[in-house]
Chain A
Amino acid sequence: MVHLIWAGLACIGIVYALFNGTIGDVNEAIFSSANEAIQLVIGLTSILVFWLGLMKIAEKANILAGLSRLFRPVVSKLFPDLPRNHPVMGYITSNFIANIFGLGNAATPLGLKAMKEMKQLEPSEQASRSMVTFLAINTAGVTLIPTTVLALRIQHGSVAPTETVAATMIVSILTTTFAIIIDRLFHYKRVRK
C-alpha cells in the first residue's frame, strides 16, 4: 500500500509537471525537500536521544510502571491484545499524556518506543491490531494547547486568540472517539473474514 502512495505521488507529480511547465519547480523540490528531511531528522534525533535516555531511567525506577497502573483500566481496554504488565503499557500511557499536554516533542519518542515494544511482542512485517489502534489515536491527535496556532492568531491581531482553544479540545476529543470507533469497526470486519 505504501509503495503505491509513494511511487504514485511522485509519478503523478512528474507527469503533470511535464505537461504544465512546472518541471523546473519539481527539479528544485527534489533537492530542497531531501535537504529538509535531513534537517528534520537532525531535529528529531536530539529529541529522541534525550527523551529515550530519560525514559530509560524512568523505566528502571518503576515510574513508568506506576504511571501505567494508574491508567491501566483505560489503556488495557483500548489495547486488549497487549500483556497488562508489560513496559509497553507505560510508553503508550506516557505518549497519550504527552500528546494531551501538547508536548509533541516528547510524544514522538515515547510513541516510537511503544511501537518498538509492540513489534517485539509480535515480530512481523505486518502491522498488529494494537499498532493500528495506536496509530489511529495518534493521527487524531488530542492536543490541549495548540501553541503554533495561538502564535499565528496573535500575530495577525486576533481580538481573542485563545477563543478556538476550547473548540479545538472538543473537536480533538470527538475525533479521537471516532478514530477508536472506526478502528474497532475495521478490526471486526477483518476478524470476520
Chain B
Amino acid sequence: MEFISMVSMVVIPLFVLIVLAIGTYKKLPTYDLFVEGGKEGLSMAVSLLPHLLGMLVSIAIFRSSGVLDYMIDLFAPILSFVQIPKDIIPLALTKPISGTAALAVTADLIKSFGPDSFIGRLASTMQGSSDTTLYVITVYFGSVGIKKMGDALKVGLLTDLIGIIIAIMIITILFG
C-alpha cells in the first residue's frame, strides 16, 4: 500500500520530467507548445462555465428544497425489500447527481456508523468506485457543445445501479 501511494506521488513530477526532457531532446519549442496547449485549456474552461454553473444551481435548488430527502424516504421501503440496506440509500441516490453532496453523505455515514462497520465499508467502497454521472456528462458534453446526448445518461445511470448492487455483493462476500 505504501508503495502504491509512493508511486502516485512520484508519477506526475516524473511525467513532467520525461515530457520536457524528450521534447528538449527532439529540439521542440517546448515553451511555445506549452502556451499553445494552455490557451486551448483556457478556452475550454470558459466554454464550460455556463454549463457547469447552470447544472450546479439546478441541483442545489433540488437538494436544498428537501425533495431529495423526501425521495429517499419514499424509496426506502422498496429498496429495503430487495435487501439493499436502508442507510446506504441516501448515498446511492446522491452519488449520480452530485459529487460534493455524495462526499458529505459518505463522511456522515462513516462518522455515524464507524469506518469499520458494514455500512461504513460499503459507503467507502461506493464513494471510491464510481464517478458522478451527471457531473461527467455535463462537463464532457458541455465542453464540446453536444446537445443530444444519445444513450449516455441511460447507460450512466444503469451502470450506477449495477455498481451499487456489485458493491453490496462484494462487501457482503469480503466482510459480511
Q: Do A and B truly interact?
A: yes
Give the distance in Å from the alpha carbon of A110 to the alpha carbon of B160 in the complex.
23
| B111 CB contacts on chain A under 8 angstroms | 156
Provide 30 A-B residue pairs closer than 8 Å at the C-beta atoms, listed in order of the A residue: A2-B141, A6-B58, A9-B62, A10-B62, A13-B64, A22-B65, A37-B49, A37-B53, A48-B45, A49-B41, A57-B28, A57-B37, A60-B23, A61-B19, A61-B23, A111-B140, A112-B139, A118-B144, A119-B144, A119-B145, A126-B148, A135-B156, A136-B155, A139-B132, A152-B124, A156-B115, A165-B128, A167-B125, A168-B125, A169-B129
| A30 CB contacts on chain B under 8 angstroms | 57, 60-61
Give the distance in Å from the alpha carbon of A40 to the alpha carbon of B5 in the complex.
26
| A22 CB contacts on chain B under 8 angstroms | 64-66
Asked if A70 is an interface residue, CB under 8 A from chain B, the answer is no
| B63 CB contacts on chain A under 8 angstroms | 13, 29
Task: Report, as a range, how many residues of chain B touch the other chain.
Answer: 35 or more
What's the minimum C-beta distance from A143 to chain B, rounded to whole angstroms?
A: 6
| A71 CB contacts on chain B under 8 angstroms | none
Give the distance in Å from the alpha carbon of A187 to the alpha carbon of B28 in the complex.
42
| B44 CB contacts on chain A under 8 angstroms | 48, 52, 109, 112, 116
Give the distance in Å from the alpha carbon of A121 to the alpha carbon of B138 in the complex.
21
Interface flags for B141-157 (1: CB within 8 Å of A; 0: not) read 10111111111111110
A154-193 residues at the B interface, CB under 8 angstroms: 156-172, 174-175, 178-179, 182-183, 186-187, 190
Interface of chain B, main secondary structure: helix
Nearest to B151 among chain A residues (CB) is: A186
Interface flags for B42-72 (1: CB within 8 Å of A; 0: not) read 1011001100111111111111111100100
Asked if A146 is an interface residue, CB under 8 A from chain B, the answer is yes
A9-B62, A125-B145, A132-B152 given. 7 additional CB < 8 A pairs?
Answer: A49-B39, A49-B45, A136-B155, A141-B131, A160-B116, A167-B121, A186-B155
A8-40 residues at the B interface, CB under 8 angstroms: 9-10, 12-14, 16-17, 20, 22-23, 25-26, 28-30, 32-34, 36-38, 40
Give the distance in Å from the alpha carbon of A44 to the alpha carbon of B46 in the complex.
10
What's the minimum C-beta distance from B171 to chain A, rounded to whole angstroms?
A: 6
Asked if A78 is an interface residue, CB under 8 A from chain B, the answer is no
Instruction: Pick the most buried of B48, B49, B107, B140: most chain A CB atoms within 10 A of its CB.
Output: B140
| A75 CB contacts on chain B under 8 angstroms | none
What's the minimum C-beta distance from B84 to chain A, rounded to whole angstroms?
A: 15
